Structure 1
């Protein structure tokens, strides 16, 4: 009995604070919208490190369609440049449906004009991609407070 107890506690490689982070975030629903498979995979892995299993789609129309059928998300990571429907159009559509989820514009450019165009569409934040653990932490703290 003691051997089993000791083995289970030593097999846990997570720190207590990491367990708290995962527990706090596990009920958050996140949508990643990006046409780049490398960025989708990177953001998926990054979010999973925070205890979140995101829903992932490849363009803005797919994201809008999810809201049309009644899905809801706490956080949306929205790429700017995508085929079918870009992130600016999708953000405008989502906001036009009365959706108040946190939308984070994610762009290849650090130009203020591009970020301003995204802000005008209705994003809450706009960052250059790929996102970093620090930025994800900032967003999750904002959502959890």
Structure 2
């Protein structure tokens, strides 16, 4: 299946401090022809937005050094539509299955437990592509 949308692949930001978890997730995303960027903590992710970078999807871990995932989501969402932070689909991820409420209360669109299922990732990508192709985003 071709996951490219209108000639360009989705831009996905992975915010994850664990090298192995990042590697696995980035490898899965490349199978879907996504352009990937990794931030090792929330501060790096916020800095990418401040530099003018825009993403279609953010996959955000909860527990990280320097700035935790939920705090980064609050900061990214507060940047508003001029920074592309309101349209981006933000997915909170954690091995802590009780993190759902924390992520949803700060502006995440959904929560998935770690490790993320390949099928769940595929569904998220399809949803964002469909929205882009239908002009919703």
User: Shorter-chain-normalised TM-score: which range?
Assistant: 0.7 to 0.9
Partner of 2:125: 140
Normalised to the residue count of structure 2, the TM-score between the two structures is 0.86
The equivalent residue for 1:106 is 93
| Structure with the higher helix share, 1 or 2 | 1
Counterpart of 1:124 in structure 2 is: 109
Deviations 1:106-128 (A, max 9, x none): 011112xx210110010001011
Contact 2:57 / 2:90 at 8 angstroms: preserved in 1?
A: yes
1:1-145 aligned within 5 A: 18=1, 20-21=2-3, 23-24=4-5, 26-98=8-80, 99-100=85-86, 101-111=88-98, 114-145=99-130
Give 3-state SS (helix, strand or coil) of 2:53's partner: coil
Displacement after TM superposition at 1:53 (Å): 3.2
User: What TM-score comes out, normalization by structure 1 length?
Assistant: 0.81
Which stretches of structure 1, 4 residues or longer, exceed 6 Å deviation after superposition? none
Count of residue pairs the alignment pairs up: 124
How far apart are the structure 2 equivalents of 1:102 and 1:52? 14
| Larger-gyration structure (1/2) | 1
Find the counterpart in structure 2 of residue 7 from structure 1: none
Structure 2 Cα separation of the partners of residues 144 and 46 of structure 1: 16
